């Protein structure tokens, strides 16, 4: 993780050895003049889902559907795979409440999140965010 886009560009163009260099497409990232910035669909705000689940638990049921999980879960799955976070895989498994909520958002029509489920889903999502946060490396 980087504080600024410029820090990310500097890192990508640097010579410091790191595990991303093992990715097959790394030379393309490092050698391009195009800044390696994610597009809007590749930006993930994991805390926004926490806020949504809190609002539903506090009475905004019916206003948010299960599709709210789609984009943040996509990013979380990628990060969890990269970092080997098996606990995140467990929390998102089809047998867990959170995994079932994610699956409901992937099949149209998506049902609205229920107030009585939102508190537990938030607890599980918060654990996912903690797991992901513990695996991130922040660079200057």
**Per-domain residue ranges for the chain?**
5-37, 41-135
Per-residue pLDDT, 50:
93
123 compared with 45, residue with greater pLDDT? 123
Arithmetic mean of pLDDT over the chain: 87
CA atoms of 5 and 26, how far apart (whole Å):
18
Q: How far is CA 30 from the centre of its chain?
A: 24
The reported pTM is 0.79
Sorted by sequence, the CB contacts under 8 Å of residue 63 that are 6+ apart come out as 55, 56, 112
Kindly report, residue by residue over 19-59, the tens digit of the pLDDT: 888 888 888 888 888 877 777 766 778 899 999 999 999 98
Per-residue pLDDT, 42:
67
Could you give the percent of the chain with pLDDT greater than 90? 41
Kindly report, residue by residue over 70-87, the tens digit of the pLDDT: 889 988 998 899 899 999
Joined together, the tokens standing for residue 15 give 């010579």
> Is 97 in contact with 53 (CB distance < 8 Å)?
no
Which residues, in sequence order, are bridge partners of residue 2? 139
């Amino acid at each position: 993780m980087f504080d600024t886009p410029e820090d990310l560009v500097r890192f990508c163009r640097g010579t410091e050895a790191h595990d991303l260099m093992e990715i097959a497409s790394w030379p393309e990232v490092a050698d391009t003049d195009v800044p390696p910035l994610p597009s809007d669909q590749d930006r993930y705000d994991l805390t926004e889902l926490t806020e949504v689940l809190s609002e539903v638990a506090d009475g905004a049921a019916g206003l948010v559907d299960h599709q709210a999980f789609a984009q943040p879960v996509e990013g979380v799955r990628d990060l969890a795979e990269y970092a080997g976070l098996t606990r995140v895989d467990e929390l998102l498994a089809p047998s867990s409440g959170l995994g079932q909520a994610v699956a409901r958002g992937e099949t149209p029509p998506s049902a609205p999140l229920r107030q009585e489920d939102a508190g537990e889903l938030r607890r599980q999502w918060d654990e996912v965010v903690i797991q992901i946060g513990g695996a991130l490396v922040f660079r200057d």
